[in-house]
């Protein structure tokens, strides 16, 4: 019984690690996963990694190729646009719910993240921005105290996270990347749920507008051999 529980734990750990990698944009569209490499990274055997990947395929975050390899789905502008519309509704709702529930400690944390985002943007450290942006959003979504809604949002980010590294490609997004975060924080501090929801939707919209032209460009290019 102990071995079965430990094995299940490894399976879940691999699943969580890969899913968090997708959410954080550590993988790219068209990237094929090599079981042995992932197993070495996580320090486990290939079996729990394989089952974690198959679970993510079942959830639509990864895809099975005709040759049975597992990869991140290809660039898809139509899919990205659909995800954007869903995110506006669900993340706007989560932000609204969080307004009355977020603690003073949570507000202090968000303020610190906003300052760290400013520093990342000033230094041109866009990888740090992507990580900090995720931290900002999920601090709010966690505060909504709606576990089912949070799980749905995590799955949405699992699909859209692979696009996040294109935020700053060929756009001036850096000049406005933190603007709506400040407005969200002000709305949360004032406990103004409508204002928070509006600013959250605007934040998602501005980012999507910055990424969509690049995603359309990449979706028309062939994958490397």
Give the pLDDT confidence score for residue 222 in this predicted structure: 60
Chain segment 167-219, per-residue pLDDT in tens:
998 778 999 999 999 999 999 999 999 999 999 999 999 999 999 999 999 98
CATH code at 77-219: 1.20.120.530
- Flag whether pLDDT at 54 surpasses 50: yes
Confidence category of residue 4, pLDDT binned at 50, 70, 90: very low
Average pLDDT, the chain: 92
Instruction: Write out the residue limits of the CATH 1.10.10.10 domain(s) in the chain.
Output: 2-71
Q: Between helices 147-160 and 2-23, what is the axis angle to 10°?
A: 60
At the second CATH level, the architecture of 2-71 is Orthogonal Bundle (1.10)
Instruction: Write out the residue limits of the CATH 1.20.120.530 domain(s) in the chain.
Output: 77-219
- Model confidence, pTM: 0.90
Give the pLDDT confidence score for residue 5 in this predicted structure: 38
Chain segment 112-161, per-residue pLDDT in tens:
999 999 999 999 999 899 999 999 999 999 999 999 999 999 999 999 99
Give the pLDDT confidence score for residue 71 in this predicted structure: 97
User: What is the rounded distance in angstroms from the CA atom of residue 109 to the CA atom of residue 183?
Assistant: 15
Confidence category of residue 104, pLDDT binned at 50, 70, 90: very high
């Amino acid at each position: 019984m102990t071995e079965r529980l430990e094995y299940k734990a490894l399976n879940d750990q691999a699943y969580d690690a890969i899913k968090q990698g997708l959410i954080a944009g550590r993988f790219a569209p068209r990237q094929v996963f090599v079981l042995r490499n992932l197993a070495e990274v996580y320090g486990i055997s290939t079996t729990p990694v394989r089952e974690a990947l198959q679970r993510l395929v079942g959830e639509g975050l990864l895809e099975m190729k005709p040759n049975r390899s597992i990869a991140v789905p290809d660039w898809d502008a139509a899919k990205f646009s659909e995800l954007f519309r869903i995110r506006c509704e669900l993340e706007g709702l989560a932000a609204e719910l969080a307004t009355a529930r977020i603690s003073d400690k949570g507000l202090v944390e968000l303020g610190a993240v906003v300052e760290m985002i400013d520093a990342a943007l000033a230094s041109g450290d866009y990888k740090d921005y992507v990580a900090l942006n995720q931290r900002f959003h999920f601090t709010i979504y966690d505060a909504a105290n709606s576990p089912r809604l949070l799980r749905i949002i995590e799955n949405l980010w699992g699909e859209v996270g692979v696009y996040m590294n294109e935020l700053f490609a060929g756009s001036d997004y850096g000049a406005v990347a933190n603007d709506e975060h400040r407005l969200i924080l002000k709305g949360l501090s004032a406990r103004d749920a409508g204002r928070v929801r509006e600013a959250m939707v605007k934040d998602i919209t501005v980012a999507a507008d910055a990424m969509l032209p690049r995603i359309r460009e990449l979706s028309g290019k062939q994958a490397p051999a």
